[in-house]
């Protein structure tokens, strides 16, 4: 059997990782400014993370959600404390799309409404509800076409107010920082107004913090820069530092109903061990503060580079837009300078490194980056 060829691949076989570095099968070392697409939060093969998972695997890796799992309570307890939502409830699933799918459904179960307001250039996943809320026609199969999904211009509060005034919308879903769109930050004032109008119209506010959350922005959640609270928050990527898992954080006003939501794998023992290890490391090593400090340093230095048209970002979620396509520069950076970066569209580099990136490693990146410009 061959692999279904849906991913354009770099001709590289990564076989090891340590901290902010990864290694190929030929022993080459690469500085990882991509974090495997914002997934590696506490660093590759962190010893505490490896020990916690190994220890758990030697006890039990999985049992079903039909029995008590104390590890799930520990995740909820620690996450609630660390993220600033201690009174919310936690529902764990497996991928970002699945978390958003459940959030959209939960909102609709709650208020009985059908419509969803999303934003232009949004990316929320590839399952049926989430791909309908994703502003990319290429990802939509005919079976996903759904007139209940409407896209608002980003940061346009007047458009949002007019739509929500109809009382037809179940939820608004918005990324803490738009990632796939090229690192676009919602204005703090816009988010404040959005919060207000959602409350006034009985519309559920869903914050997709899958890419921007878990400390990446320099706060636990990017929407916390605006000082607002969301009704539902979705997390994935960094939550397990590579172990596939995700979750929905749920305001206490939602009623839990047996059978409405479910999952076989979500919140399993091994996933919880990964999530606990990540939260412990983030706290013990002050990784959120580190993301803020190193991110500020990087953005300040990048803004001095004349070839870059614009630098956008918060913490260690940074976009660098060029006037011309970046494909060649990115490829040189990878194969000649041995640095992994992300990209979005044709003109924007995306930096999503592990949150433990040091100032020294950021300096190494800047030095190598300048060489390919």
Ligand X SMILES: Cc1ncc(COP(=O)(O)O)c(C=O)c1O
**Residue 124 within binding range of ligand X, rule CB under 6 A:** yes
Total residues at interface with ligand X (CB under 6 A): 14
Closest to ligand X by CB, 97 or 351: 97
- How would DSSP label each residue in 31-74? EESSHHHHT-SS-BT-HHHHHHHHHHHHH-S---TTS--HHHHH
Sequence-distant (≥ 6) Cβ neighbours of residue 164 within 8 angstroms: 117, 172, 197, 198, 200, 201, 203
Cα gap 285→247, rounded to integer Å? 23
| Torsion region of 5: left, alpha or beta (phi above 0 gives left; psi -120 to 50 gives alpha) | beta
**Is 361 one of the binding residues for ligand X (CB under 6 A)?**
no
The answer to whether 211 contacts ligand X (rule: CB under 6 A) is: yes
* 175-204 positions binding ligand X, by CB under 6 A: 175, 179-180
The arrangement of strands across the sheet holding 21-24 comes to 14-18, 21-24, 29-32, 339-340
**Of these, 41, 69, 72, 95, which contacts ligand X (CB under 6 A)?**
95
- At 86, phi and psi to the nearest 5? -65, -25
329 CB contacts (<8 Å, ≥6 apart)?
Answer: 322, 349, 372, 373
Among 17, 36, 96, 266, binds ligand X (CB under 6 A): 96
**Cα atoms found within 13 Å of the Cα of residue 73, Cβ hemisphere only:** 4
As measured in angstroms, the least distance from the Cβ of 127 to ligand X is 8
Q: Taking contact as CB under 6 A, which single stretch among the options 63-71, 146-154, 205-213, 220-228 is the one that binds ligand X?
A: 205-213
Please state the closest distance from residue 253 (CB atom) to ligand X, in A.
24
97 or 271, CB closer to ligand X? 97
Please identify, among the stretches 74-82, 93-101, 198-206, 288-296, the one whose residues bind ligand X according to the rule CB under 6 A.
93-101
Residue showing the smallest CB distance to ligand X in the complex: 96
125 vs 218 by CB, closer to ligand X: 125
245 contributes a contact to ligand X by CB under 6 A: no
Of the pair 238, 295, the CB lying nearest ligand X is at 238
- Distance (Å, rounded) from C-alpha 17 to C-alpha 15? 7
CA 29 from centroid of its chain's CA atoms: 26
Q: Is 52 in the site for ligand X (CB under 6 A)?
A: no
Residues near ligand X (CB under 6 A) are 95-97, 100, 123-125, 175, 179-180, 208, 210-211, 236
């Amino acid at each position: 059997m061959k692999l279904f060829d849906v991913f354009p691949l770099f001709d590289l076989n990564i076989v090891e990782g340590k901290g902010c570095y990864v290694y190929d099968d030929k022993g080459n070392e690469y500085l990882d400014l991509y974090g495997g697409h914002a997934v590696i939060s506490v660093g590759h093969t962190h010893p505490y993370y490896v020990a916690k998972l190994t220890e758990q695997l030697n006890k039990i890796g999985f049992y079903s959600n039909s029995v008590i799992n104390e590890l799930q309570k520990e995740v909820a307890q620690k996450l609630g404390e660390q993220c600033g939502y201690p009174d919310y409830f936690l529902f764990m699933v497996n991928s970002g799309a699945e978390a958003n799918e459940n959030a959209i459904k939960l909102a609709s179960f709650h208020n009985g409404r059908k419509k969803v307001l999303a934003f232009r250039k949004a990316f929320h996943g590839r399952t049926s509800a989430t791909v309908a809320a994703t502003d990319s026609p290429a990802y939509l199969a005919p079976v996903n076409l759904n007139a209940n999904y409407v896209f608002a211009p980003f940061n346009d509060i007047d458009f949002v107010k007019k739509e929500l005034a109809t009382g037809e919308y179940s939820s608004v879903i918005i990324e803490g920082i738009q990632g796939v769109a090229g690192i676009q930050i919602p204005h703090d004032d816009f988010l404040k107004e959005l919060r207000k109008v959602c409350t006034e119209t009985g519309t559920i506010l869903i914050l997709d913090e899958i890419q921007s959350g878990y400390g990446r922005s320099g706060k636990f959640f990017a929407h916390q820069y605006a000082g607002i609270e969301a009704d539902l928050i979705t997390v994935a990527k960094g939550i397990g530092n590579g172990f596939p898992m995700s979750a929905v954080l749920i305001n206490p006003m939602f009623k839990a109903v047996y059978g409405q939501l479910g999952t076989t794998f979500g919140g399993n023992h091994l996933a919880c061990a990964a999530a606990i290890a990540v939260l412990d490391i983030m706290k013990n090593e002050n990784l959120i503060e580190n993301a803020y400090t190193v991110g500020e340093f990087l953005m300040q230095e990048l803004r001095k580079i004349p070839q870059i048209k614009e630098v956008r970002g918060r913490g260690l979620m940074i976009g660098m837009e060029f006037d011309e396509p970046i494909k060649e520069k990115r490829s040189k950076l990878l194969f000649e300078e041995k640095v992994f970066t992300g990209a979005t569209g044709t003109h924007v580099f995306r930096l999503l490194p592990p949150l433990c990136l040091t100032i020294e490693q950021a300096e190494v990146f800047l030095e190598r980056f300048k060489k390919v410009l």
